[in-house]
Structure 1
Amino acid sequence: MSAPDASPPPRRRLLPLAIAGTVLCALLCCVGGAGAFMLTTLGGDDPTLTLAADACGQGDPLPPDGAMPRMEDYGPSQLRNAAVIIAVGRQMQVPPRGWVIAIATAIQESRLSNLPYLGAGNDHDSLGLFQQRPSQGWGTPEQVRDPAYAARKFYEHLVLIDGWQHLALTDAAQRVQRSAFPDAYAKHEPAATAIVNRLADGAARSLGTAVTPRCAAADEITASGWTLPVHAKVGSGFRTADRPAHNGVDLIIGRGADIHAAASGRVLVARCDPDHRGQRSCDVDGYPGKGGCGWFVDILHAGGVITRYCHMVRAPFVRPGQQVQAGEVIGKVGTSGNSSGPHLHFEVHLNGVRANSGAVNPVPFMRDRGVPLGGSA
């Protein structure tokens, strides 16, 4: 890693640190309505993995030795390092969004392992969880291999970045790390979110900007980086018995209401979807059976998640390739395309698959990120 106060040449990374398996798509699987949920993809059926549904970061992230939860792809020593990162962030009064950024960074740099000097395989003199370089002013070799010291140094530089809490995770991490691979951090955001939720009682679902964690309100951006596209009741659900091909949910709200990007990302598509006859007639109200999304937008987020926003009243405010921030207004609610009245049809797709096969139910997906559709906590 580069010097904290200089702009050195791009670094050459020699250690590929991809996460095995599909941690990037690990969802918090609901086991009760307003009750509790369990990280079934990140652990077994151990009841100690269960969290209260309203937990938002009040728990102790550092359990006694031997009491770390089981999480696929991460051993006890890696999770303890993550817990130290969280504990230092809490001690420094860094909001939980910073914990997610720090852990995602450490996953990329070391896979949460406190790396020693690796000889020929080393990136210069990079050491520790964040691959900080003693020769570039980050501390002595002994200091940067102390997880608490390394985490503190990372946070000290993070909080000096103007507006860091509102940046995409990969941008905030890169401004601290100055890696030769500035986009590498983004893919670890879902895993970091899951780890923070597991070790800190759902803190990634708390308000991203609050020093003291509290559950985010409907219009706020959570520490996981998500917010509601609209604050509205859920109408037609995901792949119901009477609509098995309905690959999203309908959020019932009046014409002209703002539609917000649910998380930071890159716009993939922003256009008029042709109807069943191949016509692009999105500037007029649609009707049932017409076919198509009308005016719609697809956004690619960290971890290969795609969100879709259909039936806008006019052309979207964004264009393909544009970077958007969580909460940014991308269009207005309407009833274009296959629609019987004003509403937002909202979809979530995993693994970068825009086709129907990639769609998952947005209701549990959004609830587990602290922004339940319908506005209820």
Structure 2
Amino acid sequence: MGMINANLLKMFNNLMNLAKEKGQTINLMEVCGTHTMALFEHGIRSLLPENINLVSGPGCPVCVTGEEVIVEAMDLIENNTVTMFTFGDMMKVPGEGRTLNELKAQGFPIKVAYSPRVALEFAEKNPKIEVVFFGAGFETTAPALGAVILEAFNKKLNNFSVILSVKTVPPAIHFLFSQEIRINGFILPGHVSAVIGAKSFRFITEKYQVPAVVTGFTAEELLLGISLVVNSILKREPGYYNAYPTVVREHGNIVAQKIISEVFEIGDAYWRGIGNIPSSGLFLKEKFAKFDAKKKFGLKDRQPIIPRGCKCGEIMLGKVLPPACPLFGKACTPEKPVGACMVSSEGSCAAYFKYGRR
């Protein structure tokens, strides 16, 4: 865990002891998959009393990308002469029993890129090659995706297009409150909040009267975030906190927000294993339709595919923990995953498999 401020650690331990004495069951949801990993890595779960539970939320973009979207991407590369770029995690997500990694091994031109700009630059240098970027993300990724679309539009590129699965987090939190799930406090994503602003999650406390905190990913930031929320719960005074003020501002990144609003429009979106969530997806505006690979290559929409026995959806809703899935660690492992929660570096199943079984 490293060196921790002594006063913070004392406050945290005092709160944990008080919570243990009161005996109240407290369920805290870390919405962000990176938080899930960080909580394991820092050993923070082992510091909590048995009556405080940490459950994962739907904050892993690869995990909530429908399997049918993976299949559409594979259909595109198999039936058209294109070069595809995508993020590393997308290479390993199974679609009807196959992956983009396997297609790459068969010789299809699929390349891993850490930024959509890599694909754009490749398209510029190779005007005779059709280039497709396939990516998933939340508000954190949307500005970079929007920026390359704007650049391709301004440069009038005709050989560049995208398959995107971009979703927004606040509607998913609203959806959680419509389910029969008892969450007593939220640990909110720092990266998403940096873009859309701390204000975007205030509804959790103002509308639903549930404590929430935006926090970072270091051990100290997580200990502070948990302390603030637990203290609020014990006092029965729902509070909303920004414990990541060096990165997250109240109104967020205005420039990034302008890019998102210029390129994308809001619509209903399907979240893998969860279902349709109103107004939770970002889709290219008609002005940029020429960069929509599905339209450009005439791809047909596919119905959602749900792997038999996979509980990714219930896990991301905080209903069960990964070990409760009958496939976990048996039919579903990082080497041979069934669900995206085991594939992604932010997936809760991957985190539990790596750390939770020690």
Same fold? TM cut 0.5? no
Normalising by structure 1, we get a TM-score of 0.22
Higher helix share: 2
Tell which has more relative contact order, 1 or 2 (C-alpha 8 A, sep 6+): 2
Normalising by structure 2, we get a TM-score of 0.23
Higher strand share: 2
